Amino acid sequence: MNKVLFAIFLLFSGYASNSQTRMAATPICRVDKKSKELFVLPDPKTEFRIYGYEYPKPDSRKMICFSSRAEDVRGNYAKCPLGSYFDSNRLPVGDKIKWVANSGNYARMIYTSSKAKRTIFYLPKNSIALK
User: What pLDDT, in 10s, does the model give residues 56-73?
Assistant: 999 999 999 999 999 999
DSSP, residue by residue, 28-72: SEEE-TTT-BEEE---TT---EEEEESSSSTTS-EEEEEES-HHH
Residue 21 in any domain: the answer is: no
Q: Average pLDDT, stretch 7-16? A: 47
CA distance 63 to 115: 18
- Yes or no: say if 48 and 35 are a contact pair by the CB < 8 Å rule: no
Q: What does pLDDT average to over the chain? A: 84
Residue 28: per-residue pLDDT = 87
Residue 6 in any domain: the answer is: no
pLDDT digits (tens, 9 = 90+) for 14-59: 444 333 323 444 678 999 999 999 999 877 788 999 999 999 999 9
Question: Per the structure, how many domains does the chain have?
Answer: 1
Residue 13 in any domain: the answer is: no
Residue 39 in any domain: the answer is: yes
Residue 119 in any domain: the answer is: yes
pTM (2 d.p.): 0.77
Residue ranges making up the domain that contains 118: 28-130
